[in-house]
Amino acid sequence: MGVKQLAVGITGASGAIYGVRFVQEVLRAGHTVHLMITEAGWQVFRDELGWDGGDREQLLAEKLQQQFPGKLRYWTMRDFSSPVASGSARIDGMIVIPCSMGTLSGIATGASGNLLERAADVALKERRRLVLVPRETPLNAIHLENMLKLTRMGAVIMPAMPGYYHKPKTLEDLVHFVVGKALDAFDLPHSLFTRWGDGK
């Protein structure tokens, strides 16, 4: 399979743990992650995960990089020198997990207002896999129309909807189901949940 390079965006939608676990699993498998986190995403890290520190890169190294063989590269929202900002870079795909409705709207309109939106625009124009994991309910017509528009452009809309047929026993089991489905979208092997029909 070889080493993959994935662009990963984490926004201010609730469910920061999904993005964290996805990055950890990709790094665990030895791949490279180009990570982008919006300011609202950092606020959710603090509110949901208790991550609060002055040196963001050091915090990410401690929480995500340690003990994993993959390579983590962190890019700020204004750093357009990042490889993910250009179609000439060999990026294998991109995921925004979780994806806020504001970010989804920015991607749908091609705004490229920050590095994350630009990276998603690049993924679409280069016909690379783009997966968006919204965590919002209920959805209004604007949300649904933007999702339909992006689906028609080739993006994969993968709402954070855990399954229950694998008989989850903990909150972590539910998180692993969503993260496992996201890994499946990039053909990355994992054993985070029991698949339908396995073991029968």
Q: Residue 175 domain-assigned?
A: yes
- How crowded is residue 57: how many other Cβ atoms within 10 Å of its Cβ? 12
Distance in angstroms (rounded) separating the CA atoms of residues 53 and 16? 16
Q: What is the pLDDT of residues 55-114, one digit of tens each?
A: 999 999 999 988 899 999 999 999 999 999 999 999 999 999 999 999 999 999 999 999
Q: Residue 193 domain-assigned?
A: no
Domains of the chain: total = 1
Q: Residue 197 domain-assigned?
A: no
Q: Residue 180 domain-assigned?
A: yes
User: Any idea what the CATH number is for the domain that residue 139 is in?
Assistant: 3.40.50.1950
Q: Which domain holds residue 67?
A: 5-184
Pairing state of beta strands 93-99 and 156-157? unpaired
pLDDT band of 54, cuts 50, 70, 90: confident
Q: Is the pLDDT of residue 1 over 70?
A: no
Q: Residue 194 domain-assigned?
A: no
Q: Residue 81 domain-assigned?
A: yes
Q: Residue 176 domain-assigned?
A: yes
Q: Residue 195 domain-assigned?
A: no
